[in-house]
Amino acid sequence: MRLRSAVTAVLGAALLCAAMPASASAASGQFRYDYVTVEGYEATGFLNNPPSDKCLNLQGVGEENPQPGHSPKNRTDSWATVYAEPNCKGDSFRLRPFTGGASERLKVRSVLFD
């Protein structure tokens, strides 16, 4: 009788584990970039704990703003690839985890984390 209860408990636990969804992968930390608003003000955008393997169009530098963002700083624990165009298109540049950064010359509109 004890063996049957133990087997039932183990099978139940295995079914529960199989039914649980896998956790989403995300970069831990913050990604920052600077930009000039449509009104002409300096601003800083940031992404906290961004999702991995998903192209992210950066807020404030989309189609409504003719000027791209610049000076990206990757303070996450993942590699970040920044792109000159929305939807992760155009020229790209990789920023290393934790300390990756670039000057005002690097223009960005989207980013992808590994």
Domain range for 109 is 29-113
At residue 73, what is the residue type? Answer: K
Task: Kindly report the CATH number assigned to the domain that includes residue 88.
Answer: 2.60.20.10
Inter-residue contact 4 to 12 (CB < 8 Å): no
> Is 50 exceeded by the pLDDT of residue 43?
yes
Please check whether residue 24 lies inside any domain of the structure: no
> How many CB atoms are closer than 10 A to CB 36?
17
pLDDT in tens, 63-113: 789 999 999 999 999 999 999 999 999 999 999 999 999 999 999 999 999
Position 74 in a domain:
yes
What gap in Å lies between CA 86 and CA 106, rounded to an integer? 15
DSSP-derived pairing of the beta strands 69-76 and 100-101: antiparallel
In this structure, is residue 14 part of a structural domain?
no
Could you tell me if residue 84 is inside a domain?
yes
The secondary structure of residue 76, as a DSSP letter, is: E
44 within some domain: yes
More confident residue, 45 or 4: 45
Q: Residues of the chain with pLDDT > 70: what percent?
A: 79
pLDDT value of residue 21: 42
Digit-coded pLDDT (tens) for 4-29: 544 444 444 444 444 444 445 799 99
Given a contact cutoff of 8 angstroms between Cβ atoms, the answer to whether 83 and 69 are in contact is no
